Structures are given as structure tokens and as C-alpha cells.
Structure 1
Amino acid sequence: MIFMVSADRLLAFTAMSFLLILIPGPSVLFVIGRALAQGRRAALTTVVGNTVGAYTLVVAVALGIGSVVERSVVVFTALKLAGAAYLVYLGVKAWRERASLQASFTDVGASRGSLRTFWEGFTVGVSNPKTIVFFAAVLPQFVDRAQGHVAVQMLVLGLVFNLVAVVSDSAWGLVAATARDWFARSPRRLSLIGGVGGLTLIGLGVTVAVTGRKD
């Protein structure tokens, strides 16, 4: 049987992934912090580590949690609502703490080796609560059970997510590395980034809560 993800599901998942990735959450903040303190190379190495960590979560969901969620409407609904609530919580937290983003961006130690930078990026990626919630609660919604190969579909969709993440996170890092002084001079600009990100997270949480399987 030939595996296939329908175009509408793929586009919808890509759009939702883009919205989530674009929000400056833990991984993006870490990448920007590396860029501001150590430059482009450290930022891009961190992006690679983040991506590998995030895809580790995809594999875990596809081979374990995902199959349980896919078979049980009760488990799926409970996880979806918990995930939605947590996304709203993260959004409210980001909004309330938007004025303190400058400390997060500049609180980075001295330059480290590439391997250590990679593993630190991996740790942030694999432990990012926003990504964990998204993969566990949202990823199963875009699987077409009629096509079969549920785990493979999740792995493919997860790969799409990570490709979008590489592009977006790299862009954040390169811009931050190029404009270190511009960011550092204006706490108001950092506050605006955090505020917009918080509101977007809240909106995404509400969307997750009201959409998805009802069978």
C-alpha cells in the first residue's frame, strides 16, 4: 500500500506548524540568545541541535503515545484539552513576562565548542513544552487513519514541522546575529515580540480546544 498524506491535511498542518514555530518560545529564545552572544555559527549549531531534539519527540509520539491517542477518543480529547490549556497558559505567561525578554536574550555564558552548543540546543529542543504539547495533542489530528501507516504519517508530518522550524529558527538567529545592537538598544522591541507571541499562543490554544476529532 502506497503511503500518502492528503494535500489539504499537509497544507493545514504546515500552516499550523508555521504559526507555532514563528512564536518566540523557548527554542527561539535560546537561538537568539546564542546569536546575540556568540554570532551566526553558534546560532545555526543551536538550530541543528533544537531540530534533532524536536524530531526525537516526533519519533516518541509516532511509536508510542501517538498510537494510544489515535485509538482512544477519550485519551485524545483529554490530551487535546490539556494541551490547549497549556498553550493558553504559555501565552498568558509570555504576555506577562514580555518586559523581561532582554534578560533572557543576554543571559548567555561565554563562547563554547560546537559540540557542546549542539547538545545544549538538543536539550532545549527535546524538553520544549510547547513542542511536546503540539506533537502529542495536535499531530494525531492530521493523520488520515483510512490511509493506514499511522506512525509513518506522523514521522512525515513531523519532518515537515522540522523543515519549517529549521528555516524559521535559522532566520531568527541570522537576523539577531546581524542586528545585535538594534535588539539590545530597545527593550520595547523585545517586549513587543513577547507580547505578540503570547497573544498568538493564546489564539492557538483556543483553536486546538475547539477543533479536532469528534468521533
Structure 2
Amino acid sequence: MLSLQTAIAFFGVSLLLGVTPGPDNIFVLVQSATQGKRAGMLVVLGLCTGLVVHTSAVALGLAAVFAASETAFVVLKMVGAGYLAYLAWGAFRAPVTEGSDASAPLLRPLQLYRRGIVMNLTNPKVVFFFLAFLPQFVDARRGSVVLQLAELGAIFILATLVTFGAISYFAASLGQRLRGSARAQQWMNRAAGAVFAALALRLAVAQR
């Protein structure tokens, strides 16, 4: 079991990582600004579900097997890049609404939640990050390594909920003001498409 000091230190570092610009929090920011706070939080919950999978993989040793496979890395990153390119295409073609419909989410809750899961699971960099990051806070003298890794994963997810939730709230507040204008909506959709396209390119050219 983790010591209280280790848990607090890890939580603090995780909070800092959560606000550091990266694909996941940028993804949350864009979704929240274009579709609202509720949509952003559903995406956050999806991302956190993906983190549960990554934590389990690291704890059980599966991530190390994946990390050793060049083919698995390439396939997963190309799937992720393709998915982001698909989101970019959808954002560029998103319809502009006016009046009361301007603030309504364009996607169903399950679709938004699934977006978060897919976004997280198809990013192979998360696997390498967890493999490098979590073990640094493990002390074999304090008992089960698997249990400690699970605890670290849970703390990281909590920090992600806090930081990404804050990002979602503030991005949605700004987006709500802009969604009342058809022209602003059009520009937000174009910006979202550009961000997704850039993330797709970045993932496609990523190296191990």
C-alpha cells in the first residue's frame, strides 16, 4: 500500500500533468467549447475509463508486452490518427444552428463517452507514459506492486477528473457565449477540425 506522503506527492504531480497542454486535455477543451459542459464531462469520463484500462495493463504486465511490439505500436497509432481525422472531417462539416438549438449537444451521451474512450485507448503514448511514470512511485517493500500500481492509477484518474473537469467548465462557459452566433459557431467548428487534424498528424508521425 502507498504511503500517504507518496500518494500526496503523486497527486500533486498528476495535477500538474493534467494542466500541461497535451492531446487529451486539448480534446476536452475543444469538445466542451463546441458542445457544452455536459458533453465535455462525458468525454472526460470516457478518457478516465481508458485510463482504467491502461492502469490495469501496466499492473498486469500487458503494457510491457505491447511496448515491445513495433507492429502493435504502428497499428494502434494509425487507428488513432484515422479516428482523429474522421473527427476533423465531421467538425469541418458540422451544421450551424441558431436560437435555442445553438446550445444543444450535437452528439448523444454514449457517443461522447465513447469518443473519450477511443481517444485515450488509441494513443500508444499513454502506454509508454504509464510504463515510465507509475513505477517510479512504487516501493516493493510496502507490499503488492500490483496493488500499488492500481492505487497510483486511481489517484491519477482522480487528478484527471479535477483538472479536465475544470478545463471543461471554463471552455464550455466561453463556448456558450460564442454558440449564440452562427458565425462564431462556424469558426469554432473550423478551429475544432483544425485541432483534430493537427492531433491526427502528430499521432501519425509519432515515434516510440
State yes or no: 1:29 paired with 2:31. no
1:64 to 61, 65, 76: 61
Q: CA deviation at 1:31?
A: 1.0
State yes or no: 1:163 paired with 2:158. yes
Over the aligned positions, Cα root-mean-square deviation in angstroms equals 3.3
Alignment-mate amino acid for residue 61 of structure 2: G
Alignment-mate amino acid for residue 47 of structure 2: N
> CA contact under 8 A between 1:27 and 1:128: conserved in structure 2?
no
Distance in 2, Cα, partners of 1:108 & 1:140: 43
- 1:95-128 deviation digits (Å, cap 9, x = unpaired): xxxxxxxx9xx76946111111111111112234
Unaligned runs of 5+ in 2: 68-87, 96-105, 179-183, 185-190, 192-208
> CA contact under 8 A between 1:65 and 1:136: conserved in structure 2?
no
Give the percent of matched residue pairs that are identical in Structure 1 and Structure 2.
Answer: 36
The corresponding residue for 1:133 is: 128
Judging changes above 3 Å, is the alpha-carbon distance between structure 1 residues 140 and 109 closer, same or farther for their aligned structure 2 residues? farther
> CA contact under 8 A between 1:66 and 1:136: conserved in structure 2?
yes
2:114 to 108, 119, 131: 119
Q: CA deviation at 1:66?
A: 7.0
State yes or no: 1:38 paired with 2:35. yes
Instruction: Trace 1:55-204 onto structure 2 (pairs within 5 A).
Output: 55-65=52-62, 109=94, 111-180=106-175
Task: Give the aligned length.
Answer: 152
Q: CA deviation at 1:152?
A: 0.8
Judging changes above 3 Å, is the alpha-carbon distance between structure 1 residues 66 and 36 closer, same or farther for their aligned structure 2 residues? closer
The corresponding residue for 2:14 is: 17
Q: CA deviation at 1:143?
A: 0.7
Q: CA deviation at 1:36?
A: 1.2
Q: CA deviation at 1:158?
A: 0.4
Look up the SS of the partner of 2:61 in the other structure: helix
> CA contact under 8 A between 1:67 and 1:151: conserved in structure 2?
no
Alignment-mate amino acid for residue 157 of structure 1: L
The corresponding residue for 1:201 is: none
Q: CA deviation at 1:54?
A: 1.2
Q: CA deviation at 1:50?
A: 0.6
Segments of 4+ in structure 1 off by > 4 A? 65-68, 106-110
Distance in 2, Cα, partners of 1:108 & 1:14: 40
> CA contact under 8 A between 2:45 and 2:113: conserved in structure 1?
yes
The corresponding residue for 1:5 is: 2
Judging changes above 3 Å, is the alpha-carbon distance between structure 1 residues 107 and 122 closer, same or farther for their aligned structure 2 residues? farther
> CA contact under 8 A between 2:64 and 2:131: conserved in structure 1?
no
Q: CA deviation at 1:40?
A: 1.2
Alignment-mate amino acid for residue 34 of structure 1: Q
Distance in 1, Cα, partners of 2:15 & 2:172: 22
